[in-house]
A = this chain, B = another copy of it.
Amino acid sequence: MADTFGEQHRIVYYEGDVTGHASLTSLINMMILASEDQSAHIGVGEDVVTSYGVGWVVTQYHIDIPRMPRVGELMTIKTRGTSYNKYFALREFWLVDEAGNECAHATSIWVTMSYATRKIVPIPADILAPYHSELVRQIPRLPRPEKLTADESIEQKDYRVRYNDIDHNGHVNNAHYFDWMTDVLPAEFLKAHEPVTVNIRFENEVQYGHVITSRVGTPVNADHHLKTVHDIQLGDQTSAIADIEWRLTAN
């Protein structure tokens, strides 16, 4: 059984939005922080991974959010490298509140990319072993996000990738995709709704200075919830696709 790592995090005002709840971007940031802290803790931090000529890249998230936490709450963030095969690793995250209730659960798929070739390579065994992940034949498939179709009414806004969107590896912090995907929705919608379920798949990297287009279709009904379908386009290339189910914002 894979080792679970946990740490506490107080959600602070600049991780929240106008409703006083954590933003989706902050949720992802906290989760990735916990995974970085686990990796460093067991001796396979970024410097070690880099020494193998590779970097971890997340390709997909499936996130369930039973209750969006509020600013001021102390959360416990737990994570484990659940399972892996030759090319893929599955990592889970949980956000648990002080009463022990699960506020969010995320499943993510990771690959290792060669710095030399920019291609996906088999995961080096040495950087995986310390997680005690389970070797599996097939990694469970996460739900594939829906795609926007040409006959939909689409809203879109352009975003220039900023200096502060870039992390210390020179890559765009994936969490910023959630800013671009939510910001394209009207403020009145965002104030009244919060995400219940998110599926996102990253397809092509964007870089500093790129101007991307964040597109969203008209919200539709799905399973008692409103659902929005999103993509991020760079010219005629798709950088990411996502769908988000929403419920009315809780107090």
User: Is A168 an interface residue when CB atoms closer than 8 A count as contact?
Assistant: yes
15 A-B contacts (beta carbon < 8 Å): A13-B33, A13-B36, A14-B32, A14-B173, A17-B166, A17-B168, A18-B166, A19-B168, A20-B168, A71-B168, A162-B179, A162-B183, A163-B182, A163-B185, A187-B208
Q: Return the CB mask of A177-212 against B: 1 if under 8 Å, else 0.
A: 001001101010010000000000000000011000
Interface residue count for A (Cβ, 8 Å)? Answer: 34
Interface pair B164/A25, CB less than 8 Å apart: yes
A14, A16, A71, A175, most chain B CB atoms within 10 A: A14
Contact call B32/A13, Cβ cutoff below 8 A = yes
Docked CA distance A20–B162 (Å): 16
Chain A contact residues: helix, strand, loop or mixed:
mixed
Q: A223 on the interface (CB 8 Å rule)?
A: no
A29 within 8 A of B: yes
On A, residues with C-beta under 8 Å from B are: 12-14, 16-20, 23, 25, 29, 32-33, 36, 71, 157, 160, 162-164, 166-168, 170, 173, 175, 179, 182-183, 185, 187, 190, 208-209
- Chain copies in the assembly? 2
**Are A160 and B163 touching (Cβ within 8 A)?**
no
Shortest Cβ distance from A228 into chain B, in angstroms?
14
Set of chain B residues within 8 Å of A162, measured between Cβ atoms: 179, 183
Name the residue on B nearest A175 (C-beta). Answer: B14
Docked-complex contact A163 and B14, CB < 8 angstroms:
no
| Contact with A170, one of B18, B185, B208 (Cβ below 8 angstroms) | B18
Do A23 and B168 have beta carbons less than 8 Å apart? no
CB A161 to nearest CB in B, in angstroms, measures 10
CA A190 to CA B12, docked complex, whole Å: 27
